[in-house]
Structure 1
Amino acid sequence: MPIADRPESWPVVSTEDIHRDDWVVALRADAVRRPGDDGTGEGAPFRRLVLEHPGAAIILAVDDEGQVLCLQQYRHPARMSFVELPAGICDVPGEDPIEVAKRELREEVELAADEWVHLGSVWASPGISAERHHLYFARGLTPSSRGDFELHGEEAEMEVFRAPFEELHAAVLDGRVSDAPIALALLMARAKGLA
């Protein structure tokens, strides 16, 4: 058997919205059956919570001196302020994630990049969420205006700073930096010889 994920969809008997509003994320409960089960006995449907999420683009932006553009941002569910990378939700249906990445780099940290490399796309937490992270490496950074975009909520309080790639990599490996997207992006960039 090849070592690879594969598309598969089990029968959904029913769906119930637990929360849905005008934002891009919703929570629902699905009753799911194993393929081939007739829904009786041990084959009865089981309940799974699903967090609907359109995905996100995350940017590992590295300047000419090998410094990574970082954010320190509060995340309420974890009650932590994390070292993170610029990122944004893919909230425009059909928009290519690379365009989301370019927009977010401009809006969050007022930069543009000349070179973009797709590091990979990963599922954030497939046991409960449909969120997919699209990771990009960017270099050739130049100043760019965020235009009329305004930072709100946690973004209004985030700190922008630069950290040497090697020091940030070490902080991930020893657990001082624990946000999954930054860890994956750093490790993937290193494995691909980009930094």
Structure 2
Amino acid sequence: MSDLHDEAYTPTITASDVVYHGAVWNIRRETFDLPEATGLVRDMMAHNGAVAIACVDEQEKILLIQQYRHPVRARLWEVPAGLLDVPGEALIDAAKRELAEEADLRAGRWEVLTDSCLTPGGSSESIRLYLARDLELVADEDLHERSEEEAGFKFRWASLDEALEAVSAGEITNSIAQLAILQVARILRAEAAGESTRTRSVDAPRRLIDGRESSSDRPRD
């Protein structure tokens, strides 16, 4: 096995305090020691993590959802995704819930594509990206009523060629959407060539911290 892999490491943490309680995210300040440096102080967003889903239909098109994102003042093309905001909920169950809520879909086949740190220099956010296939619509009586920014969703099934061109041209900038498109292209090309796709099962372990374990980091009511 290759030794090219991230390594989990917990330093000696000498202080850890929530210094800002936000409406959605809290900011935690920690002081810690590393073998190579001591007394380091870092502020970070205490994030509870997320899941995302690359949905591929029988025509090998990928589902993209356009949603307004206020911090960047743009309506971005993304893949279905959502927070790990249900205590104790398994990641795969969160992915199934988000797929139903955001895309009105269920999937009969699930695989793990990647685990990612999005902004590891300033946030504890990690996200697991799934590949979902064998799709069917959620029954009308089970449809989720979307609100806030989600009420403005637009949906598009894009071919891989179109999606890859949009990424290359700088037209799709959401990093998880980019990763989903590139990973799906890799999978479909491998399958077409009869090669191993190198996906992981839904119960594959992950090395990254699950932010839900720290209840003190949740925003106050």
CA distance in 2 between counterparts of 1:93 and 1:189 reads 30
**1:53 aligned residue:** 47
Task: Report deviation, 1:124.
Answer: 1.2
> Measured at CA, do residues 170 and 36 of structure 1 come closer, stay the same or move farther in structure 2, by a change above 3 Å?
closer
Q: Please, which of 151, 154, 162 is the counterpart of residue 159 of structure 1?
A: 154
Normalising by structure 1, we get a TM-score of 0.87
Are 2:88 and 1:94 aligned?
Answer: yes
Task: Report deviation, 1:174.
Answer: 2.1
**Unaligned stretches of 5+ residues in structure 1:** 38-42
Task: Report deviation, 1:194.
Answer: 5.6
> Measured at CA, do residues 96 and 30 of structure 1 come closer, stay the same or move farther in structure 2, by a change above 3 Å?
same
Q: Please, which of 66, 71, 75 is the counterpart of residue 65 of structure 2?
A: 71
CA distance in 1 between counterparts of 2:164 and 2:92 reads 24
Residues 86-135 of structure 1 show CA distances to partners (whole Å, capped at 9, x for unaligned) of 11111122322111111111111111111111101111111111111110
The total of aligned residue pairs comes to 188
Q: Please, which of 176, 179, 182 is the counterpart of residue 181 of structure 1?
A: 176
CA distance in 2 between counterparts of 1:72 and 1:83 reads 4
Q: Please, which of 123, 126, 136 is the counterpart of residue 120 of structure 2?
A: 126
Q: Which structure has the higher relative contact order (CA within 8 Å, separation 6+)?
A: 2
Q: Please, which of 104, 112, 128 is the counterpart of residue 110 of structure 1?
A: 104
- Amino acid in structure 2 at the alignment position of 1:153: E
Normalising by structure 2, we get a TM-score of 0.77
Kept in 2, the 8 Å contact 1:112–1:143? The answer is: yes
Are 2:87 and 1:85 aligned?
Answer: no
**2:17 aligned residue:** 16
**1:141 aligned residue:** 135
CA distance in 1 between counterparts of 2:191 and 2:151 reads 31
Kept in 2, the 8 Å contact 1:67–1:164? The answer is: yes
Bigger CA drift: 83-92 or 45-54?
45-54
> Measured at CA, do residues 19 and 139 of structure 1 come closer, stay the same or move farther in structure 2, by a change above 3 Å?
same
CA distance in 1 between counterparts of 2:139 and 2:35 reads 52
CA distance in 1 between counterparts of 2:119 and 2:36 reads 26
- Amino acid in structure 2 at the alignment position of 1:133: I
CA distance in 1 between counterparts of 2:20 and 2:147 reads 23
Kept in 2, the 8 Å contact 1:11–1:35? The answer is: no
Bigger CA drift: 78-87 or 5-14?
5-14
Residues 142-181 of structure 1 show CA distances to partners (whole Å, capped at 9, x for unaligned) of 1104736332221111212221122012211221111100
Kept in 2, the 8 Å contact 1:32–1:46? The answer is: yes
Are 2:167 and 1:172 aligned?
Answer: yes
Kept in 1, the 8 Å contact 2:100–2:144? The answer is: no
Residues 22-69 of structure 1 show CA distances to partners (whole Å, capped at 9, x for unaligned) of 85x3211112222376xxxxx4x2321111112111111111112211
> Measured at CA, do residues 36 and 164 of structure 1 come closer, stay the same or move farther in structure 2, by a change above 3 Å?
closer
CA distance in 1 between counterparts of 2:32 and 2:146 reads 40
**1:40 aligned residue:** none
**Unaligned stretches of 5+ residues in structure 2:** 193-221
In the TM superposition, structure 1's runs of 4+ consecutive aligned residues that sit over 3 Å from their partners are none
